[in-house]
Amino acid sequence: MSVFTRPKKVKPGQRKRWHYEFRIRGACYRGAPPEARTKWQAEQAETQIRQQVYEGKFGGLAIAPRLKDFIDEIYLPWAKANKRSCRDDFWRSGVLIEYFGKQRMDEIAPFQIERFKHERRAGLTWRGTQRTPASVNRELEVLSRPKIIAYNSSSYVAIAARRASGASGKTLSSHDNGLVL
């Protein structure tokens, strides 16, 4: 069982709050069950949440799409219809799909983006010269635009709601879903 308290030292006027944290199939679930006053209650709440995750009932939310699927099915058709520079987006998105393609959109962390920038900048072009920071930034522009489109479309509700429910350990109400948008 992975339950623990925060804060470790309780100040006067504060109460000890129990938290849980566990991973299933690469997804991290953490939160603080509000009803848990003792360690035993926190372990029971964690067991219930873990069982809901195994049954696919936790949160009742859709899983965020993989970056490759989102770019191929939503972003590139949008770019073709709305941008003059869509040819650049086609080949620049290929670089991003190579690096981030298997990850879901909500799993791409800022640290991974910085690592991509560093590795891409250190690589050589087909001419044998070092890649400029501007060309790496142009490739990252293609990564930021699908996130904006996902935010404006209904698919982002599932992404943001999954992140919020995984972080807080609760499902979002219809009012909270409206606030996410």
Model pTM score: 0.52
| H/E segment holding residue 20 | strand 17-24
pLDDT score for 167? 45
The DSSP 8-state label assigned to residue 65 in this structure reads P
Q: Give the span between the Cα atoms of 54 and 71, in whole angstroms.
A: 29
pLDDT top residue among 6 and 177 = 6
Q: Give the span between the Cα atoms of 136 and 134, in whole angstroms.
A: 5
Q: Give the span between the Cα atoms of 3 and 29, in whole angstroms.
A: 12
Encode pLDDT of 57-112 as tens digits.
Answer: 776 555 677 888 888 888 889 889 988 888 888 888 899 999 988 888 878 888 99
Encode pLDDT of 2-36 as tens digits.
Answer: 888 876 777 777 778 888 888 887 777 888 888 88
